[in-house]
Structure 1
Amino acid sequence: MANLNELELQNLRHLIGGHETCATKLDTYAQQCQDPQIKQMLQQHAQSARQTKQQLMSFLG
């Protein structure tokens, strides 16, 4: 892994936080949703956001 400068590190943390927020909101929306197709779509997008967050976190370690 290449060394990250301060700005890159801040941007990466911002992206990670954004994906975490997005996943949390999508999970909340899915729990409140009555339509099974929309519920499934929201859950899939939440899972995708969590996977992207994990990929981004790999750059920190």
Structure 2
Amino acid sequence: MFGFSVPELILILIIGIIIFGPNRLPDIGRFLGKGLNELRKVSAEKEKFKEPFTITEKKEKE
């Protein structure tokens, strides 16, 4: 997952609890999850529009 090992994830979680507190951490996680979901949707939409603009060989002339 993003190249992080388990000890690094635990350290990030501990720092997050110290900075934001245990009550706000679920809200922050939910916000980040929704943001990543939107990013995936936009990326998928971009791929749909990318296909019609690719250059194809004209086989009708052959």
Measured against the shorter chain, the TM-score band is: 0.3 to 0.5
Normalization by structure 2: what TM-score? 0.46
Return the structure number with greater relative CO, CA threshold 8 A, min gap 6: 1
Normalization by structure 1: what TM-score? 0.46
The structure whose residues are more often helix, as a share, is 1
- Structure 1 or 2, whichever has the larger Rg, is 2
